[in-house]
Structure 1
């Protein structure tokens, strides 16, 4: 079969080669000292860094989800890659691990080299923020599987941590202060409901949305690695949770052991206005909001009371907004892992 025949079937080899050439510089800009061989090989090689007494590899995989549909509708592909990186890098981070490298998977209806270059440039930018190398990936042209102008992204990443430094909830202790790191709005979760409430039910297209709302919906997910990893390596963090799908209700208990309950105090952090808009549009209960969205907190850490001030100062110096949102209390057999005190103030602004 000739290249022309293959192109007519929906796979353009030349366009794929052009795309690879355009993404090469972006990918190589993420390389760290551990990269031995990357783009162009059948597989990629990465050497474990020195300094670990008993290194344990930590892996994660995720996608962006239906937020991709908004990026596609807006024809804005430059930041959606950061969402992909954040979902895997932050998950690895909260186990106490340093993200090392990542591979991406891009499935697209038709390879347009400029579009692919923008997508991968966004992934590379996120990888640099996370301090990890983008050492490989796959680009699949699947015209029969994806509608015109649509694509999907998935990522897989690996980190490393000393076995004795793994954050698995065992260090969570009564009296620990819970610090919440501000999110950048919605991040990448709950977008099936977001689209239902803001677009499908009112019958609006992307172009009909207010430009400020468009900007809000496409804000990329924050990557917390560079701010938080030094504190973890200094043994100042007892536990951490990435607040993604399932919100605080499902994610925060994952950082706890059976001896403690997390007590969260409403009103200790500002809830961005987008969440009030969604709650009103869907007449959602506070519990539904907590189970679906991050409500302005992208990551939570537990620290000893005498470390709370220095940890907060370090995070703020690194550019994070930090709020003391609660603490850990002794857990009785009948207690839930997570309780909320007071009432949410949905009128607050960031």
Structure 2
């Protein structure tokens, strides 16, 4: 007998919609298959067999995150095919900070009402993020939760697992005064600070589609730009240059995230003039009358990842990143001191 519950449907949960969503997302999941994938979707667990060849002491590295209130922008625009990229990015960009290669990803979509086409759009974005990161989407979960979420809203979260040889873990222990800090350009706001962003711009159905000359696009398009995934260029850089420390600039901006890559006794000096000038940040600061310190303590300010390398390797590091398609700049240096981060 086919699975169906009239009573459950009357309570607001349609299991057949879930089956339809799975059918629609299968082609997206198929795009992410890489060597090591053992199972398809639909089982109770996602199976993955890692290649441990040449590794002395394999270490698993995991990361988890969600998209946050940036989802409110997707709801207003009725555009759901990019937030999955954000979800993957927030996890795999963390994992690669340890020097690990992301292997696989799982997502969790909780919605007020299961609209199969919308869920498939969301998972399509997740799959695209996995392709960009070079990892596999091996499973996930869709939960229909009427009364908990509004019918046309959802939450999206996920996690990734990566692998690194213990002797190659990047932990900041080799960082020294005089090392250069390389900044990798962001695609915009990424997925952080959106509660403040929505307050400043008073985002609503009327202004979300407003074209803003300064941005060169509509407000909604600028805000919904997906988070940059740095995995492939960073892994390539690690093969060419000795990377000493990596920091993913997420919620908390520079002041919270850069110290996480520093060892005791050193600080990071960041030169403001070296950062790319992206219109979204200047518009946000001006319109919200936000103090400079708060900007650097909330947003990435055009730099989504910081990497510390020896001074003599700085130019080569920038060139290698650019060759991988990633804009990068020398934005500061490591110095002696306990100030954490100094923006100058």
Q: Pick the aligned partner of 1:215 from 218, 221, 243.
A: 221
Deviations 1:124-168 (A, max 9, x none): 000010000110110001111001210000111100111111111
Q: 1:241 offset after TM fit, Å? A: 0.4
Give unpaired runs (5+ residues) of structure 1.
342-350
Which residues in structure 2 correspond to 1:247-258 (within 5 Å)? 247-258=253-264
Runs of 4+ in 1 over 6 A off after TM superposition: none
Which residues in structure 2 correspond to 1:262-301 (within 5 Å)? 262-301=268-307
Measure the CA separation in 1 of the matches of 2:237 and 2:57: 20
1:346 corresponding residue in structure 2: none
Q: 1:235 offset after TM fit, Å? A: 5.2
SS in 2 for 1:327: strand
1:226 aligns with 2:235: no
Measure the CA separation in 1 of the matches of 2:71 and 2:50: 33
1:38 corresponding residue in structure 2: 40
Q: Pick the aligned partner of 1:259 from 231, 251, 265.
A: 265
Aligned residues of 1:236 and 1:311 also touching (Cα < 8 A): no
Measure the CA separation in 1 of the matches of 2:147 and 2:329: 48
The normalised TM-score by structure 2 is 0.94
Deviations 1:80-124 (A, max 9, x none): 100000000000011111001111000011111111111100000
Aligned residues of 1:181 and 1:322 also touching (Cα < 8 A): yes
Single out whichever of 15-24 and 226-235 deviates more from structure 2. 226-235
SS in 2 for 1:181: strand
2:88 corresponding residue in structure 1: 85
Deviations 1:263-317 (A, max 9, x none): 1112012221111111112211110001110000000100111211211111001
Q: 1:78 offset after TM fit, Å? A: 0.8
SS in 2 for 1:217: helix
Give unpaired runs (5+ residues) of structure 2.
212-216
Measure the CA separation in 1 of the matches of 2:320 and 2:329: 13
1:177 corresponding residue in structure 2: 180
- How many residue pairs match? The answer is 336
SS in 1 for 2:38: strand
Measure the CA separation in 2 of the matches of 1:282 and 1:219: 20
Measure the CA separation in 2 of the matches of 1:282 and 1:2: 51
2:78 corresponding residue in structure 1: 75
1:114 aligns with 2:117: yes
Q: Pick the aligned partner of 1:60 from 60, 63, 69.
A: 63
1:28 aligns with 2:30: yes
Measure the CA separation in 2 of the matches of 1:235 and 1:308: 9
**Over the residues paired in the alignment, what is the CA RMSD in angstroms?**
1.5
SS in 1 for 2:130: helix
Measure the CA separation in 1 of the matches of 2:75 and 2:61: 32
Measure the CA separation in 1 of the matches of 2:170 and 2:57: 15
Aligned residues of 1:189 and 1:293 also touching (Cα < 8 A): yes
Q: 1:13 offset after TM fit, Å? A: 1.1
The normalised TM-score by structure 1 is 0.93
